[in-house]
Amino acid sequence: MLEVASWGRLRSVPHEVTRPAFLDIARAAVRPREAPLLCYGKGRSYGDVCLNENGHLIITDMLDRIIAFDAETGIVRAEAGLTLDRLLRVIVPQGWFAPVAPGTKFVTLGGAVANDVHGKNHEHAGTFGTHVRAIGLARSSGDVLTLSREENAELFAATIGGLGLTGAILWVELQLSPIRSAYVDTETIAIGNLAAFFRLAEESREWPYTVAWIDCLAKGDGAGRGFFIRGRPAEKGTLDVHAGRQVGVPLDAPNGLLNARTLGLFNALYRRRPWVLGARQMHYDPFFFPLDAVADWNRLYGRRGFFQHQSAVPMRNAFETLRKLLGLTAEFGEGSFLVVLKLFGDKSSPGVLSFPLPGATLALDFPNNGEGTRRLLDRMADVVLAAGGRLYPAKDATMSGQAFRAGYPAWRTVEAQRDPAIMSDFWRRVTADAA
Ligand SMILES: Cc1cc2nc3c(=O)[nH]c(=O)nc-3n(C[C@H](O)[C@H](O)[C@H](O)COP(=O)(O)OP(=O)(O)OC[C@H]3O[C@@H](n4cnc5c(N)ncnc54)[C@H](O)[C@@H]3O)c2cc1C
């Protein structure tokens, strides 16, 4: 048995593990067993969607080959354990980029499909799953199926955002986006509050990439103060890939370096950095993946780990809901280092359980301070549900079954398509009390 954790490091749980290096071996590993199965990519999910306590984990990171790549059309087919990191090294020099990139490049294609991840360009490009042309899926019945919008369409829709429950994804075929350079023309603008965020977001509709970093210590009229960043692919520049240099965190920070005491200092320093403001050209790596510069930054939260709240709320009440969420954070005194705010557009995903909905999404990290943090997360979940929103399973470790099912009323469609040999801690948690 191997102890395995997810990115939030809230707990390490024992699993039997298989780590296949070839698709044939992976396929053979997907069979009924005494304990339930689950695939695990790079464990960049924060909570328990990638955990299966006392079960069997198929760790896919050695399934990392590109099967076919057409540099004329930008269609790539690759094994499910390939990371965006490795994919970008191959495709960028050929003038192609990931159509959707989450905030870290250390995710696998299988993980990106199973959580139907989104990036800074949701309003323009939708989710990752929107660009998936086909999936190779192994079921515990021994079947290996090709899924697409035309073939096995229902299983395709259940697999995109299907949290790994419908089978083991062996390969993914993806339509890439063309680029002329590896650089992004960016502008960073200071915003004084939430109203300024919404104004600027509205004015920036032509910009494919937008995101805001918020100072969660700001209260009252200043709530939502921070930086708004917008970007578009540069027309000129070289097609150089990321260097891959990372600073490491060799040890767990003893009591957590990121705590309420250091938070104020961090935010004050960040606010005083005038050089971040204005227009500049940035390489895609620091623009899309700034946190990847520090390997294992999750260890800075110490041994008790940390939570993330990420919710999506409909546009009609986004302003009020965000004010309430930020207000709750301030009230509980549980400051967050990383507060990211962005808008989602109305491009719908083929995925049944896809997280984004037209509106706004807020993501906050909280050090694990035990009961107090859990109470805050519950209160935030209540606010989100009352607003007709939902929480993101990829980031979640605490939502109740009721909260999940209210946010994802189509969950039974995925349950009906779930491979009977597969289960996750997340799914057990949110479906256990379902009638
Ligand atoms: C710093 C950071 C920034 C992030 N930013 C974003 C963001 O901007 N947008 C966003 O959407 N997400 C974001 N995330 C979350 C991350 O993109 C997702 O959790 C992603 O799914 C992780 O991929 P993974 O390969 O590590 O999968 P894992 O976390 O290992 O697994 C995720 C799910 O995929 C399933 N799975 C994995 N491989 C397979 C397979 N081969 N077959 C079937 N199921 C499989 C697992 O069972 C699990 O349910 C971020 C995470 C981090 C750490």
Condensed to tens digits (0 to 9), the pLDDT of residues 116-138 reads 999 999 999 999 999 999 999 99
Q: Is residue 396 a contact partner of residue 414, using CB atoms and an 8 Å limit?
A: no
State mean pLDDT over 388-404: 97
Give ligand 1 pocket residues (Cβ under 6 A).
7, 38-45, 49-50, 60, 80, 102-104, 107-108, 110-112, 114-115, 117-119, 163-164, 168-169, 291, 394, 424
State mean pLDDT over 178-207: 96
* One-letter amino acid of 104: T
Condensed to tens digits (0 to 9), the pLDDT of residues 413-431 reads 999 999 999 999 999 999 9
Q: Which tokens is 186 given?
A: 């960016």
State mean pLDDT over 149-157: 98
Coil, strand or helix at 224:
coil
Can you give the pTM of this predicted structure? 0.95
Give me ligand 1 centre to Cα 117, in Å: 7
pLDDT at residue 302, rounded to an integer: 86
Q: How far, in Å, CA of 287 to CA of 272, rounded? A: 20
Give me ligand 1 centre to Cα 236, in Å: 32
Q: Is residue 60 a contact partner of residue 39, using CB atoms and an 8 Å limit?
A: yes
Longest dimension (CA), the chain: 59
Give me ligand 1 centre to Cα 151, in Å: 25
Mean pLDDT in the chain?
Answer: 93
